[in-house]
Chains A and B, each alone.
Chain A
């Protein structure tokens, strides 16, 4: 299993190589000069622009620029942001904790709401509980997160004054963004849990467990739920990517620091090093999480043996 994990991690390298190449080419295909963009608010003279282009190596051929980026990235140096003039690794470091906190809290909301709701719906199939929870889930999937975010701010910040509308840091600032971001994933997980549980509850071994006289809780949680988890774990890995993408919107609505806002700012300003660095970083995290998800399969289903056909 260890060899398998190592092999999977090594397979990440070409993926990341492809990602950086794609991002690099895309940034160059979009018209616009990052230096002129950066100095766009003020009067500049052509000498100043040329001088800064040279300082940032933007006057070099593309291939050379890409080579420089890769060579530095291998050494852990992602370059310097054009706009803020600070190392990209520091920028990532400053924003990482906030996004990780948000993504984990959102996942907690997604699991904490999604699985119980799905269970509830499955166990009370065709009852009002089922209809209500699945209706709620449909609403959750359909709601744009910027709208839900503003709605929550309106209710819980402006009228009830329970939670602050903006900022990062402590737990209090996390509540509304986490609910906003976790809601869509919660809805998806709830629907999936319901269908997966319904399928499992009809299986022979569940009937056997009941026939043995096991209590309802043991049957549902130990026998049925564990088996119903496999598709949910798969979606969990994919949803984590969605959460990172959703963080872009949620971080903007709630003015939270984070990688999402960092990368949007980078794209709008054509800040090449920043965008490349953040994309490379996020891609690495995403790929590694999916390796972890594969490992989790083996836990949920002992029949799956990683690395063996």
Chain B
């Protein structure tokens, strides 16, 4: 047996090593210096700006397709593909004067016909539109006045249109490419921007290359001409731990959606720089279902607002990735001392309000009224990694006030269904909207059962104000309207605004010149990469 073993053993050992050796050899090559590689947390369902229902699409195409108007990070609207625009006095139409020197990546000219084609495409009943559809609410049509003038009309005065005309959803693609490229429109949108999509590998990456023919000055830069970087690769890396590791190892030069728990480590790494941009829209917010007892009592809702210590969220779950939320709009959208003053953390006041509402402390600390315990059900998404920490924190904070929170953790589809049916005491959600008109979706009576009136509020006064906000085109008056809406929402305690989230990117220090638009998406035309 011994001799047998001594002869067989080396062969066996060699065999055992073979698969490892055979596979390991090519990996020994040094990694060649490559293009700018950026890691995203998800793959876009489509790159077609009009069809996409997902924000990740616009992260990628922010430098590929362009808009009539650009919304700067400070909220100003400045010319982009349109040289100028005039809103009609009745607020029902906008006339755009277009630039004459713009060509799509496929060489076709950009003109008034192209704008009309794009907007008509979105509302075409045969087209499966994504987020773009609701932004053209009440769209009647576009009239080509001459080759470079176009008038866009709506049924009723529609003030949010100018902001939406600056959002990726209403960015302009080549009509010729849409008509001729078939399914390719989902992986290779043809725009007019500084970069062109060159390659799309499903579940892996999208590559874009610089558009050498770009000669214009982009609104976010002092510089004219094409992008600085030749090639950008967007890698889709859903697993957060893996994504961060690729940045540390140098496999990527930048990663998006850095998890809060990795931030302290990355901040200590001198080869890495963190960049944060505030999200516009609705903050991370708990929509309180006002139709379901005991939350139909405004005192209970106000008590909940006083009992939630927002600093606790910033110190734990959102450490380094958020700021204190003050209203149903993030502070970049609407900021006012009156909003900041609402609902300081005050447990005593919360308890007093619950007492006034008839809820008295019970034996186990949970309050009761007429033999009924003060229980509420929080609708939470179960992503597979255990109970949502935000929900857990709410649970423990409200427990202090004598409210028992039951967390209904479930997959996304039933989570949505419960929200549509007003079946729980509300979910924690967020909404990225670049116009305060996002509040229309949150609070208008017509959107109970849809996206996103999950507070299930039906309030005629509020509806009237939301409609007025849509009609009003004067910026100062609009602001006043939305300030009143936010104040009313706080007074009625329709929500608990928790955290103004930040879009968190981490880059290798060799990457410079990344800029962010109002949507908080990175724009890469001025980016440079030092080896």
**Contact indicator per residue, chain B 418-445, by CB within 8 Å of chain A (1) or not (0):** 0010000000000111000010110000
State whether A113 and B413 are in contact (beta carbons under 8 Å apart), knowing that A44-B451, A45-B134 are contacts in the complex: no
**Contact between chains at B452 and A123 (CB < 8 Å):** no
* Min C-beta distance of A71 to chain B, whole Å: 22
- Number of chain A interface residues as a range: 35 or more
Residues of B within 8 A of A68 (CB): none
Residues of B within 8 A of A265 (CB): 43
Q: Is B411 part of the contact surface with A, judged by Cβ < 8 Å?
A: yes
**Contact between chains at A120 and B13 (CB < 8 Å):** yes
Interface size of B in residues (CB-CB distance below 8 Å): 78
Distance between Cα atoms of A94 and B413 in the complex (Å): 27
Q: Is A48 part of the contact surface with B, judged by Cβ < 8 Å?
A: yes
Q: Is B513 part of the contact surface with A, judged by Cβ < 8 Å?
A: no
**Contact indicator per residue, chain A 6-39, by CB within 8 Å of chain B (1) or not (0):** 0000000000000000000000001111101111
Q: Is B23 part of the contact surface with A, judged by Cβ < 8 Å?
A: yes
State whether A39 and B131 are in contact (beta carbons under 8 Å apart), knowing that A33-B417, A113-B16, A157-B245 are contacts in the complex: yes
* Min C-beta distance of B241 to chain A, whole Å: 6
**Contact between chains at B23 and A171 (CB < 8 Å):** yes
**Contact between chains at B19 and A109 (CB < 8 Å):** yes
Residues of A within 8 A of B517 (CB): none
Report A44-60 residues with CB < 8 Å from chain B CB: 44-46, 48-49, 51-52, 55
Distance between Cα atoms of A45 and B129 in the complex (Å): 12
In-complex Cβ contact of B18 among A38, A51, A112, A166 (8 A): A112
Distance between Cα atoms of A164 and B39 in the complex (Å): 13
Distance between Cα atoms of A150 and B412 in the complex (Å): 26
Q: Is A204 part of the contact surface with B, judged by Cβ < 8 Å?
A: no
State whether A217 and B7 are in contact (beta carbons under 8 Å apart), knowing that A41-B53, A166-B251, A255-B239 are contacts in the complex: yes
Residues of B within 8 A of A44 (CB): 133-134, 450-451
* Min C-beta distance of B188 to chain A, whole Å: 12
Residues of B within 8 A of A163 (CB): 27
Among residues of B, the one whose C-beta sits closest to the C-beta of A171 is: B26
**Contact between chains at B5 and A48 (CB < 8 Å):** no
**Contact indicator per residue, chain B 1-12, by CB within 8 Å of chain A (1) or not (0):** 001110111011
Residues of B within 8 A of A170 (CB): 26
**Contact between chains at B245 and A153 (CB < 8 Å):** yes
**Contact indicator per residue, chain B 49-91, by CB within 8 Å of chain A (1) or not (0):** 0010111000000000000000000000000000000000000
State whether A40 and B451 are in contact (beta carbons under 8 Å apart), knowing that A84-B45, A178-B23, A216-B3 are contacts in the complex: yes
* Min C-beta distance of B57 to chain A, whole Å: 10
**Contact between chains at A165 and B242 (CB < 8 Å):** yes
Residues of B within 8 A of A172 (CB): 26-27, 29
Q: Is A86 part of the contact surface with B, judged by Cβ < 8 Å?
A: yes
**Contact between chains at A116 and B12 (CB < 8 Å):** yes
9-residue interface stretch from A256-264, A277-285, A287-295, A297-305:
A256-264
Query: Main SS of chain A's interface residues?
Result: helix
Distance between Cα atoms of A108 and B19 in the complex (Å): 7
9-residue interface stretch from B198-206, B314-322, B362-370:
B198-206
Q: Is B460 part of the contact surface with A, judged by Cβ < 8 Å?
A: no
Q: Is A169 part of the contact surface with B, judged by Cβ < 8 Å?
A: yes
Residues of B within 8 A of A217 (CB): 7-8, 11
**Contact between chains at A262 and B203 (CB < 8 Å):** yes
* Min C-beta distance of A27 to chain B, whole Å: 10
State whether A43 and B23 are in contact (beta carbons under 8 Å apart), knowing that A153-B242, A161-B249, A215-B7 are contacts in the complex: no
* Min C-beta distance of A80 to chain B, whole Å: 9
**Contact between chains at B23 and A165 (CB < 8 Å):** no
Distance between Cα atoms of A42 and B49 in the complex (Å): 13
Residues of B within 8 A of A232 (CB): none
**Contact indicator per residue, chain B 226-258, by CB within 8 Å of chain A (1) or not (0):** 000000000111110111011011110000000
**Contact between chains at A175 and B245 (CB < 8 Å):** no
Among residues of B, the one whose C-beta sits closest to the C-beta of A94 is: B202
* Min C-beta distance of A182 to chain B, whole Å: 8
**Contact between chains at A42 and B249 (CB < 8 Å):** no
**Contact between chains at A40 and B134 (CB < 8 Å):** no
Distance between Cα atoms of A265 and B42 in the complex (Å): 10
Q: Is B183 part of the contact surface with A, judged by Cβ < 8 Å?
A: yes
Contacts between the two chains (Cβ within 8 Å), count: 227
Q: Is B286 part of the contact surface with A, judged by Cβ < 8 Å?
A: no
**Contact between chains at A167 and B7 (CB < 8 Å):** no
Q: Is B468 part of the contact surface with A, judged by Cβ < 8 Å?
A: no
State whether A45 and B450 are in contact (beta carbons under 8 Å apart), knowing that A161-B31, A268-B411 are contacts in the complex: yes
**Contact indicator per residue, chain A 223-260, by CB within 8 Å of chain B (1) or not (0):** 00000000000000000000000000001111111100
Residues of B within 8 A of A124 (CB): 5, 9
**Contact between chains at B134 and A120 (CB < 8 Å):** no
Report B91-134 residues with CB < 8 Å from chain A CB: 125-126, 128-131, 133-134
Residues of B within 8 A of A84 (CB): 45-46, 186
Q: Is B341 part of the contact surface with A, judged by Cβ < 8 Å?
A: no
State whether A42 and B130 are in contact (beta carbons under 8 Å apart), knowing that A49-B450, A161-B249, A172-B26 are contacts in the complex: yes
In-complex Cβ contact of A85 among B19, B43, B186, B245 (8 A): B186
In-complex Cβ contact of A256 among B27, B129, B169, B204 (8 A): B204
**Contact between chains at A257 and B201 (CB < 8 Å):** yes
* Min C-beta distance of B442 to chain A, whole Å: 9
Residues of A within 8 A of B447 (CB): 43
Residues of A within 8 A of B46 (CB): 84-85
In-complex Cβ contact of A113 among B19, B53, B432 (8 A): B19
Report B9-47 residues with CB < 8 Å from chain A CB: 9, 11-13, 15-16, 18-20, 23-24, 26-29, 31, 39, 43, 45-46
**Contact indicator per residue, chain B 291-321, by CB within 8 Å of chain A (1) or not (0):** 0000000000000000000000000000000
Distance between Cα atoms of A162 and B125 in the complex (Å): 52
**Contact between chains at B416 and A120 (CB < 8 Å):** no
Residues of B within 8 A of A85 (CB): 45-46, 51, 128, 183, 186
**Contact indicator per residue, chain B 485-527, by CB within 8 Å of chain A (1) or not (0):** 0000000000000000000000000000000000000000000
Among residues of A, the one whose C-beta sits closest to the C-beta of B237 is: A255
* Min C-beta distance of B13 to chain A, whole Å: 7
In-complex Cβ contact of B131 among A43, A153, A251, A258 (8 A): A43
Distance between Cα atoms of A98 and B204 in the complex (Å): 10
Among residues of B, the one whose C-beta sits closest to the C-beta of A161 is: B249
Distance between Cα atoms of A271 and B307 in the complex (Å): 40
**Contact between chains at B9 and A48 (CB < 8 Å):** no
Q: Is B225 part of the contact surface with A, judged by Cβ < 8 Å?
A: no
Q: Is B414 part of the contact surface with A, judged by Cβ < 8 Å?
A: yes
Q: Is B145 part of the contact surface with A, judged by Cβ < 8 Å?
A: no
In-complex Cβ contact of B246 among A40, A111, A166, A216 (8 A): A166
Of the A-B pairs whose beta carbons lie under 8 Å apart in the complex, a sample of 17, sorted by A's number, is A43-B452, A45-B133, A45-B450, A90-B183, A108-B19, A109-B20, A112-B18, A113-B19, A123-B4, A123-B12, A158-B248, A165-B251, A171-B27, A216-B7, A220-B8, A221-B8, A261-B238
State the 8 A-B residue pairs at the shortest beta-carbon distance, nearest first.
A32-B413, A42-B131, A216-B4, A257-B203, A112-B19, A116-B16, A43-B441, A255-B237
Known pairs A41-B55, A109-B23, A164-B251 / 12 extra A-B pairs, C-beta < 8 Å: A39-B130, A40-B53, A43-B433, A45-B133, A83-B53, A112-B19, A120-B16, A123-B8, A161-B249, A166-B242, A219-B4, A256-B203
